[in-house]
Chains A and B, each alone.
Chain A
């Protein structure tokens, strides 16, 4: 007989360490998994000889090791008719929809998500776009319901959020493809024009038959005509718009330069004299289109993040009709409906509280760190979390008119606002082209007075060739691209290239308190009294949703807990390991008859910490001081910000006294620390500062910061931010704390210096080349040889620079 080893009572998943459901425990197996997803990941890693991953994770993260985020929801609202109408496209017996997947970040995620059809019958295909975290699902509705697919995705750690693939999205995609095609055509033409130009330069040395020369010239003429008339048309269209509106834009000088070069070349080709400049025209069109594409791509991704905002609000609510509750999509809610909000869930709509009382956590909405109590008939806001028992709400505002919806609308408006900083490269290239054309004309005029027209033209051609603004056009974008790449490796994700320029000059920086300067979580700061109660309290608090409970709870606790009762707004009681335990507010415990030191309580609140009491119903009492502690490096980082010349303000929705204490500890002047600021007031504060000619950088993480982030010149969202803030911000720091902010600011300074250096190098280079050509020292051949050198210099300067490290 084979001995079956005794299994421990609770099996932990070998991948994510979550408890394994009893039904999934495989007896006698060394590995246990909580779900198919974890099993797949584990087997892949083990199969590839990468089992060491688990050792690394254990060493590295300690108890911070994250269980795969599983909300455990069933997504019944996805099968609702209203949802299908809005999000699902049906073609024949196939249905398809797009979802934003939270939590995808690596190749393993792609692999796992795209293996869905193997896990669930009826799923036809799954394509994941890793960069945007968007998955496109195709399934047979007769075989499988969308809710089943959604909950499977959820169970393997990727909660799906519905996304609309609207007309706007389609239009943007078409636009991007058209842009790419234009670049391809312009590029192919520019390359061939360059080849022909080199053959023509060669004629300076060895001479060329007239027939051959004319053949090359007419070919180049034809190619340049296509280049200007097809991909180059966008510039002429822009210039025409500027003329009609009588407001000059950057397309105007570009169009002028292009037409001068093209018409001059065409005239000389047909009259069989002088020189042609078609390659400069072709390359200019190509480079300007590339620059434009990069910029438009940034705008498009900003738009996509805006779309995400709509996906992020909670997707469903429990509607109560005649005492029966049904899960419906939020879009189906009407004003006057009654909804039920379970303990721990997020409120879906603004409404009037029907239950006697409730405790809600409004931290994401207002930044208040302590939960607030709400009485019957008072307003409960969407986006807040119900911490107590289940409550009922009569809906008074839905969708965009809820407070959180209003905030999101403001963010959307700001995101649509065009970037104030104009396209540097375009502007410079345009002006540059005009100046060069003018200089070429002067050269021709000057030299014809002393020599023949042909010699004069030759000098002018040398000038045009050496002045080709490749290096100038490349200087800024290359430096920015290199800096964005380097910053990303350091955990600083920058959305737009303009960001560096704005951040390079010091201004006003506004820091959110909770989560940015402080840890953002409640922690036990002091434990007075009976220490032996601590393990019992830790076990009991696993059964509560209160933020204080999260600070006190220890999920690894194996102690048995029974008879748990939660007293809303007071505390929790239960029997742990055979001992009756009460944990809660001092008032409640005093009422129950616990005996503790009142002086200790006032010491705690004087330190702006919050007290909690634990009691065993007899002699043993603990007084626990809870607080949101400072990050270890905050004070040092803020000192550095002051050194860099920034004016530092703290802007928080929390109690002013708490904000003052924090300001004092990190060295921010008390008149610059503002507490009790509502999200709307934060935005107003940003705008007031902007009115007094300050550049404003806002650093924050919550929903309450989103509008301020969007309104600020540059918004920086820190690690752990609410998605709304991510969408509103220009920069996202994937590391917690202020270290990334300091690095971002000093890196921006270095990047802008690099850009200036690059511009200077290429201007000097082109300038001296132009001077030599005007003096008649440079001939077109040498000009053609030297031209790429300036581009090379600029490229190597950009890649070798140490902007972020």
Chain B
């Protein structure tokens, strides 16, 4: 069972990364508006004009 001594710290490391990722996204303001992006994702891109 000594694998536990590696796996548990690894799990905690992954959790830390996730929390850091969340903190970054939150500082960027990604959670300030939770409604509009859901709609924005559905808009088509502007058609590329052909030369």
A residues contacting B by CB (< 8 A) are: 106-107, 110-111, 114, 118, 127-132, 173, 176-177, 180-181, 184-185, 188, 191-192, 195-196, 209, 212, 215-216, 219, 223
Contacts and interface: CB of A to CB of B under 8 A. Distances in A.
B23 A131 contact: no
Contacts of B36: 110, 127-131
B25 to A, nearest CB: 9
A209 B19 contact: no
Nearest to A209: B1
B15 A180 contact: no
Nearest to A185: B19
Contact of A181 (B23, B32, B39, B42): B23
B15 to A, nearest CB: 5
A184 B15 CA distance: 10
A181 B30 CA distance: 12
Given A212-B1, A212-B4, A192 B22 contact: no
B39 to A, nearest CB: 4
B31 to A, nearest CB: 6
Contact of A195 (B11, B33, B39, B46): B11
B43 A181 contact: no
B11 A192 contact: yes
B32 A173 contact: yes
B22 A184 contact: yes
Given A177-B26, A177-B27, A181-B26, A188 B15 contact: yes
Given A180-B31, A219-B8, 19 more contacts: A107-B43, A110-B40, A111-B43, A127-B36, A130-B35, A131-B33, A177-B29, A177-B32, A180-B22, A180-B26, A181-B23, A184-B22, A184-B23, A188-B15, A195-B11, A209-B1, A215-B8, A216-B8, A223-B12
Given A180-B31, A191-B15, A192-B15, A107 B22 contact: no
A209 B5 CA distance: 13
Nearest to B43: A111
Contacts of B8: 196, 215-216, 219
Range class of the B interface residue count: 20 to 34
B48 interface: no
A679 B15 CA distance: 57
A195 B26 CA distance: 26
B42 A107 contact: yes
Contacts of A223: 12
Interface of B: 1, 4-5, 8, 11-12, 15-16, 18-19, 22-23, 26-27, 29, 31-36, 39-40, 42-43, 46
A188 B5 contact: no
Contacts of B4: 212, 215
Nearest to B8: A219
Contact of A130 (B5, B15, B31, B39): B39
A110 B41 CA distance: 11
A617 to B, nearest CB: 58
- Among B5, B26, B36, the most chain A Cβ lie within 10 Å of the Cβ of B36
Contacts of B27: 177
A639 B2 CA distance: 74
B32 A188 contact: no
Given A173-B32, A212-B4, A219-B8, A188 B19 contact: yes
27 contacts: A106-B39, A107-B39, A107-B43, A110-B36, A110-B43, A130-B36, A131-B33, A131-B34, A131-B35, A131-B36, A173-B32, A176-B32, A177-B27, A180-B31, A181-B22, A184-B19, A184-B22, A188-B16, A191-B15, A192-B11, A195-B11, A196-B8, A212-B1, A215-B4, A215-B8, A216-B8, A223-B12
Contacts of A209: 1
Contact of A110 (B1, B12, B16, B39): B39
Nearest to A186: B19
A647 B47 CA distance: 61
A188 B15 CA distance: 6
Contacts of B29: 173, 177
A690 to B, nearest CB: 36
Contact of A215 (B5, B12, B34, B40): B5
Contacts of A107: 39, 42-43
A173 B32 CA distance: 8
B36 to A, nearest CB: 4
A188 B39 contact: no
Contacts of A110: 36, 39-40, 43
Nearest to A183: B22
Contacts of A111: 39, 43
A191 B31 CA distance: 22
Contacts of B16: 188
A700 B34 CA distance: 31
A114 B36 CA distance: 11
A5 B8 CA distance: 80
Nearest to B33: A129
B21 to A, nearest CB: 9
Nearest to A191: B15
B12 A192 contact: yes
A41 to B, nearest CB: 13
Nearest to B35: A131
A105 to B, nearest CB: 11
Nearest to B34: A131
A70 B26 CA distance: 37
